[in-house]
Structure 1
Amino acid sequence: MEIRQLQYFLAVAEEEGFGRAAERLGIVQSAVSQQVRRLERELGVPLFGRSTRGTRLSAAGERLLPQARAVLDAADRLRRTAAAVAAGTDGILRLGTVQTPDGRLDAVLARLAARAPALRVRLRQAPPAERLEALRSGGLDAALLRAAADAPGLTVTPVWRDALHVALPADHPLAAEPSLRLAGLARLPLRRAAPDRNPGFHALLTGACRAAGVDPPPGEPFTTLRETLAEIGTSGTASWTVFYDVNGLPELPGVAVRPLAGVTVTTSLVTPPGPPAPALRHLLAAFGRPGGG
């Protein structure tokens, strides 16, 4: 069964004649008659009663006409939806996310919804390496990533920049400073995560230390922010760590948190290479970045 056969069936029924249906469809009458006969053979019932007085629906045709209309309506909805998906205003956009402290991602998603109300966004939280792997394998359409300097083969578009913060013992002399620089922290053991846990941020911090001409001695490994800060405040051995704000600046006894001057972390939207797909253009526009449409 073909869609055009149902279209011809509907046209003949509404025009009450093969000739008028052919005129409406802009084709020859023989083509209409041939396709309707094929449809009748496939369905196994006559759809029309043909006589010298004209063409009328048979009982079977009268029963099947509403269903033919429903199929054609469904096909039309399918075409419209497919066109909207192709234009990026409908469909599903799979986005790997990061935590943000100030609702900025919610604001981006609200702007995206205003541009493409039928576009559904599926958010996925995963470690940075998993986000990149999912993007390369097609499991994600885009991913937000902090310090995404090393993303070979992908397009990296910066979308916002965040300050970094230092946590150190509250009784350390440096805690009296309103902000800190890496040069002043050079002799204190630095607690940081292994490179494979967050390669981009590890590389950012390593590069910043190198640019500042410092190489802090390694401290105990960074585990979670809460656990690491608790150890900094209670271990009795001075150490420090660097972090970015995701849920508001923490407050723990014995720990001072100060801004790190001269170093920031950039969050980027990472996408497949080449021109962005229509849905991604809408997302880029919601971020206020070039390439959005």
Structure 2
Amino acid sequence: MRFEQLRYLEAALRTGSFRQAAKELGVSQPTITTQVQRLEEDLGVVLVVRGAQGVLPTYAAQRLLPHAQAAIRAEDLLRQEASAIEGMKVGSVRIGTVATGNMLILPDVVKRLRDEHPNIRFEVAAGGSTMVRRGVIGGHFDLGLLIRLSMDESHEDDDRLAYSDLMSGRLVLCVPQDHRLAQVESLDVAELSGEPLIFFTKGSILRVAFEKLISGIEANVVFEADGAETAQRMVRAGVGISIANSLAPSTVSGNGVVLVPINEPWARATLSVAVRRDEQRSVVVQTLLRLIRESPNR
């Protein structure tokens, strides 16, 4: 059994395709297929089956995959620790982040780290807080930048993560400047009943917050936005009302948009960095975490 075989198996099951796994890892499809078969022979179990939906894990693969992922992370850590002996000449770090972290935190810290260690490579995936949280827990990211709300008292997997809070903001409603609610000083949620609303796609913490805010009233969702800037443009065009996080650079009053405070105790939003709890981290990841916590943009 070799580390490459574990990587091939993990990629095939994650992508659901030998072809896609081969493309991602830069090898031929027959190489992936052959090495996974040899891994099955070595372990004495069947790991994958081909179905109408692509490559699927067997029960044995589901049991063994977490151990394979741990072995892959251990190899990455071993190689990076070895390179650290030479002064972090090479290394990589995988980051999952929400758009706010991408804009406010990463440009500064990536520049600072690369100024000192120009051969460090960054793999960054942007998405919603749910995607980032799951990616960190599953080992796909070394760390994640995500938004947490005060109402998020606990997640079932939070005992597997450690958080450092970086900055806090508030949730606000974004309404067209000529809308009647643009003049209110204190929002009565009942006034949103029947109003055209701009929601966010599933996985966004803002969607969760909006659903909580309008619980119990008639919701008239007319558009689902894939990001904060898209939602702001729709509000500006008069399509409807949306919700926003004051930390996002796009959340500003003016140019056709008025921000109305949401005076709910749970409506505080915090940008946090998350890592897996009680896990040894490479020198590269440790250094990046330190820079994130020291970021002047906090």
Q: TM-score, normalization: structure 2?
A: 0.52
Distance in 2, Cα, partners of 1:267 & 1:110: 20
In the other structure, the counterpart of 1:267 is 271
Question: Does residue 1:165 correspond to 2:172, yes or no?
Answer: yes
Does the CA-based 8 Å contact 1:147-1:268 persist in structure 2? yes
Give the drift of 1:242.
Answer: 0.6
Distance in 1, Cα, partners of 2:89 & 2:136: 21
Unaligned runs of 5+ in 2: 1-78
Unaligned runs of 5+ in 1: 1-78
Amino acid at match of 2:269: V
The equivalent position to 1:201 in structure 2, one of 201, 206, 215, is 206
What percentage of aligned pairs have identical amino acids?
17
In the other structure, the counterpart of 2:292 is 287
Question: SS where residue 134 of structure 2 aligns?
Answer: helix
Bigger radius of gyration among the two: 1
Question: SS where residue 114 of structure 2 aligns?
Answer: helix
Distance in 2, Cα, partners of 1:233 & 1:217: 23
1:201–1:276: structure 2 CA closer, same or farther, 3 Å change rule? farther
In the other structure, the counterpart of 2:133 is 132
Give the drift of 1:195.
Answer: 7.8
Amino acid at match of 2:167: W
In the other structure, the counterpart of 2:250 is 248
Amino acid at match of 2:182: A
Q: Deviations over 1:106-164 (max 9, x none)?
A: 11223333565543222222344433333233222112112274353222222222343
1:120–1:261: structure 2 CA closer, same or farther, 3 Å change rule? same
Question: SS where residue 186 of structure 1 aligns?
Answer: helix
Does the CA-based 8 Å contact 2:173-2:242 persist in structure 1? yes
Amino acid at match of 1:123: V
The equivalent position to 1:156 in structure 2, one of 150, 163, 181, is 163
Distance in 1, Cα, partners of 2:89 & 2:280: 14
Question: SS where residue 112 of structure 2 aligns?
Answer: helix
Question: SS where residue 217 of structure 1 aligns?
Answer: coil
Does the CA-based 8 Å contact 2:236-2:257 persist in structure 1? no
Does the CA-based 8 Å contact 2:253-2:259 persist in structure 1? no
